[in-house]
Structure 1
Amino acid sequence: MTSAVSENGWKAAASSSEPTDHFAPDGLDAHAGALQAAMPLLLAALIAFAVQIYLDGDTGWHLGAGKWIIANGVVPTADPFSHTMPGKAWTAHEWLAEVLMVGADRLAGWGGLAALFALSAATTFWLLARQAFRFLPARWAVAAVGAAAGVLFPFALARPHMLAWTLLAAWTVILLRAREDRSAPPLAAALLMVVWANLHASYIFGFGLAGLFALESLIENPRDRGLLARWVAFGFAAMAAAALVTPFGPSDFLYPFQVSGMEALSVIGEWRRSTFPADALFYTCLAGLAVLIAKRWRSMPPLRLLLLVGLSAMAILHARHQMLFAIVGLLVVLPMLNPAAAKRRALPRAAWFWPAVAVLIAVRLAVPYQFKEHSSYPLTLLETVPDEIRRQPVYNEYSQGGPLVMLGIRPYIDGRADMYGDAFTFRSRDINRGDMVKFREDVARFRIRWAVVEFDDGIKPKLEREPGWRKFAEDKHAAIFVKTDR
């Protein structure tokens, strides 16, 4: 064992009267400090240069919202974008992320956005790696962080939820460290909620996580009133930070529950049920967790066991919750994999990590980003549409609404299903599949003069035969039709 490993308590743990580690150190441990920094850097580089983070049309309307907020100096409370729902109440709960995204976009366009999300990824995976290398030998730590990254990468999209990864990981580490120290989190940590509550609705899960660990502390120390008071103070401070330093106040607490109850979630890809083999890695990790629980459930803290089961169920029911499963699940499982390692100090931080991240971000900003168009982003095709047509009401597919907002075109629908509601979202799906009766009704109702549809949409071949419509332009991604009034 090298001196670097010895400094981190590996020898001390093995020679003490405490139970020995379940995992034996291996040859890679001599390089554990470097690996702990290299993994997050590599994963961030993949986000910056290799992974396509612009596959989701929602990026477009988030940019549009950020530009509107900066231009008007306020957070909107009613729809300023669509031609179908103008003025309808809308909760722009991700406004801070949208402003940050616009700032990155103005700095270096698509490359600036990629740099922002690469920085978020670097920080998130650094937090995960710090914990993984603390509890596991190097090869197992690499495997654990790699598995978490594999689950997360399909959701690596240029949207606010990816920025929330960092806050979720940091919040979970803070809570776990407080429980290890048999204490409560520092009050200053509650300030994370000021950012989180304005960044993404997942902050509500953060409250639930804090409540669970507070209850665990109370059960373990029922007579320690001072400790209970510190947990209660932390909880109230976090809630005050979320409620008082947001544009929407306490009413914003209800928003995530309202969205999760929508029937239209069934037609949105990320809210689908996790399936095999589409989500093979998730189910592989889930099987590993099931084996761990079956072998050690008697020694597992009951509330943490309940948390892991709950995370698993959430991720099965809705694929987007695989992100919670990967981040929180890994951080919670690590101490259970190797309980004897809980007394280890974390590895010394590699001094070169953050300078290397800075270099990565600088390179990403300097190198022009090669944006790849696809069916949700037919930007070149949209540029061919004359201004007099662009200003008129349009019919568009759900995922194309975001790019239209980004270009200043009022969409028929976009990714804000929470604002459009169940009925309208289902209606747009039916039209997109080829329901021409509903299409004609909406053409008359909203005075639609043109349409942009994806190349494989069911409505495309029917529009090609529809009287009074002609194909204006098309490419391999999409087609544009214009009403001829015949």
Structure 2
Amino acid sequence: MVPESAPPTQPPRDDAGATDDGAPSFSVASLLRTAETLVPVVFVLIVACTVATWALTPPLRPNDLGWHLAQGRWMVESGRVLAEDVFNYPNRGHALVNEYVLYQLLLYSLVSVNERLVAALNVLAWLFICLAPIVVAWRSRGLGVITASMVIVTLVLSGNRMNFRPEVFTCLGLVVTMLWLLSYLRRPPRAWWEFWPLGLLQTVWAGFHSGFVLGLVIYAAFACEALVREVLANRAVAQGEGKPLSLIAALSSSHILAWAGGFALLLTCCMINPFGYQRLLLPFYHQGSYIIKLYTTEMQPLAWSLDEPFAVMLALGL
């Protein structure tokens, strides 16, 4: 009987995807691993270069700069919050809700010290806005909330051209809110007062731009997703133990009270300002707000366009 010959053995492969004889192996898996490492780095560099390029332009247009500086200077010199129209003659003396109290005070303070501080702070703010979500998404793979938050940031960024306008603080608020909420992916909140930093952020945010309402939207969406995941997990555990759990029982045993209390806290903090609840209504209802009529674009604080090159680039990064 002729002995059967053993099948030829394949040369062992190393971790780099090459065989011992030195022949490279261009497998799809190795290409994907390489792309997974290089693409985020390249995209971060593109974003950084884009921010630096945009930073070469003036951080504010002359009409924006003059308008906000005039109101900031008036508040500093008078020691009062601008709550009536003092610049527009036809409406002089009429009550108004100033959407940008903290922004105008900050801008006037920076310009009073050195105008270059405005450009420097603008670059730092946009670098954080653009890079923080990318870095977190890179480190935490498979997180749908990261992608959703980056889409929101993309929409807001698309109409602002990286200027040091009030919208930059809405972008900052979105990113900070998103990063803070991500800490609750691994554990649920123990009580509603854990969200006091977000409440403080909402109070400050409302003094910079009307986009603070987007913080409430992100929180509500994140809370709903967290509760759905928790309820499904509780029902799966009960099913495995042979004790079926109803949807109502699973929801009552979840952390719904902590999430609801946190939302109530954020909503209350939005009204801690010189204008009270009217500040919360202003992003949705502008009639009756005696803002400077010539500045009609300021009456659309949540409007944006999708034709900006930066929006396209950030969307590709997703």
TM score, norm. by length of structure 2: 0.64
Select 1:78's aligned residue among 81, 84, 99.
84
Q: Which amino acid aligns with 2:265?
A: A
2:155/2:311 contact within 8 Å kept: no
Cα deviation for residue 92 of structure 1 reads 0.9
AA paired with 2:84?
A
| CA distance in structure 1 between the partners assigned to 2:310 and 2:54 by the alignment | 19
2:215 is aligned with 1:206? yes
Query: Match of 2:265?
Result: 237
1:27–1:274 Cα change, 3 Å: closer
120, 125, 142: which one aligns with 2:130? 125
Determine if the alignment matches structure 1 residue 164 to structure 2 residue 170.
yes
The alpha-carbon distance between structure 1 residues 176 and 270, as it changes in their structure 2 partners (threshold 3 A), is farther
Counterparts of 2:36 and 2:126 in 1: how far apart (Å)? 24
Q: Distance in 2 between matches of 1:39 and 1:123?
A: 14
Pairing 1:362-381 to 2, within 5 Å after superposition: none
C-alpha distance in 2 between matches for 1:261 and 1:174: 36
Q: Does 1:219 align with 2:246?
A: no
Query: Does the aligned pair in 1 maintain the 2:155–2:304 contact within 8 Å?
Result: no
- Name the CA distance, whole Å, in 1 between partners of 2:107 and 2:263: 30
Contact kept, 8 Å, 1:105 with 1:112, in 2: the verdict is: yes
Tell me: CA distance 1:25–1:63, structure 2 relative to 1, closer, same or farther (3 Å).
Answer: farther
- Any residues of structure 2 matched to 1:16-31 within 5 Å, and which? 24-26=32-34, 29=37
Given that residues 97 and 278 in structure 2 are in contact (C-alpha distance below 8 angstroms), is that contact kept between their aligned partners in structure 1? no
Q: Which has the larger radius of gyration?
A: 2
Residues 370-418 of structure 1 show CA distances to partners (whole Å, capped at 9, x for unaligned) of xxxxxxxxxxxxxxxxxxxxxxxxxxxxxxxxxxxxxxxxxxxxxxxxx
Tell me the residue number matched to 2:235. none
Is the contact made by 1:37 and 1:126 (CA closer than 8 Å) also made in structure 2?
A: yes
Structure with more of its chain in strand, by fraction: 1
Report the alpha carbon displacement of residue 101 of structure 1 after superposing the two structures with TM: 0.8
Aligned to 1:254: 281
Q: Distance in 2 between matches of 1:59 and 1:228?
A: 45
Retained in 1: the 8 A contact 2:169–2:205? no
The 3 A distance-change label for structure 1 pair 193 and 161 is same
Q: Is the contact made by 1:43 and 1:122 (CA closer than 8 Å) also made in structure 2?
A: no
**d(CA) in 2 for partners of 1:212, 1:103:** 36
Cα displacement (A) at 1:214: 2.0
Shift of 1:159: 1.3
Q: Is the contact made by 2:99 and 2:207 (CA closer than 8 Å) also made in structure 1?
A: yes
* Structure 1 contact 40–121 (Cα < 8 Å) conserved: no
Partners of 1:113 and 1:28 lie apart in 2 by 36
Unaligned runs of 5+ in 1: 1-20, 289-329, 335-486
Contact 1:79-1:85 within 8 A present in 2 as well: yes
How far does residue 73 in structure 1 lie from its aligned partner after superposition?
1.7
User: 184, 193, 196: which one pairs with 2:202?
Assistant: 193
Measure the CA separation in 2 of the matches of 1:75 and 1:118: 29
The residue aligned with 1:134 is 139
2:211 is the alignment partner of 1:183: no
Alpha-carbon distance in 1 for matches of 2:298, 2:101: 23
CA 72–273 in structure 1, closer or farther in 2 if over 3 Å, else same:
closer
- Can you give the 5+ residue segments of structure 2 that lack an aligned partner in the other structure? 1-28, 232-249
Aligned 8 A contact 1:43 1:121 in 2: no
What SS does the corresponding residue of 2:122 show, helix, strand or coil?
Answer: helix
Q: Name the counterpart of 1:69.
A: 75
Q: 1:60 to 1:282 in 2, by over 3 A?
A: same
Of residues 31, 39, 52, the one that matches 1:45 is 52
- 1:108 maps onto 2:108 in alignment: no
Any runs of at least 4 consecutive aligned residues in structure 1 with deviations exceeding 6 A, and if so which?
A: 34-37, 283-286
Q: CA deviation at 1:86?
A: 0.8
Q: How does 1:416-455 map to 2 (within 5 A)?
A: none
1:93 aligns with 2:99: yes
2-side partners of 1:281 and 1:31: how far apart?
17
Shift of the 119–274 alpha-carbon distance from structure 1 to 2, 3 Å rule, reads closer
Counterpart AA for 1:46 = T
> Which residue type is aligned with residue 62 of structure 1?
H
Give the alignment's TM-score, normalised by structure 1.
0.44
Shift in CA distance, 283/176, structure 1 to aligned 2, threshold 3 Å: same
Distance of 1:131 and 1:260 partners within structure 2: 40
* Count of aligned residue pairs for this structure pair: 253
Give the alignment's Cα RMSD to 1 decimal.
4.1
Note if contact 1:77-1:92 (Cα within 8 Å) is conserved in structure 2: yes
Q: What is the identity, as a one-letter code, of the residue corresponding to 2:269?
A: A
Q: Give the Cα–Cα distance (whole angstroms) in 2 for the partners of residues 181 and 113 of structure 1.
A: 38
Shift of the alpha carbon at 1:257?
0.6
- Structure 1 residues 157 and 281, CA gap change in structure 2 (3 angstroms): closer
Contact map agreement 1:62 1:98 (CA 8 A) in 2: yes
| CA-CA distance at 1:38 after TM superposition | 5.5
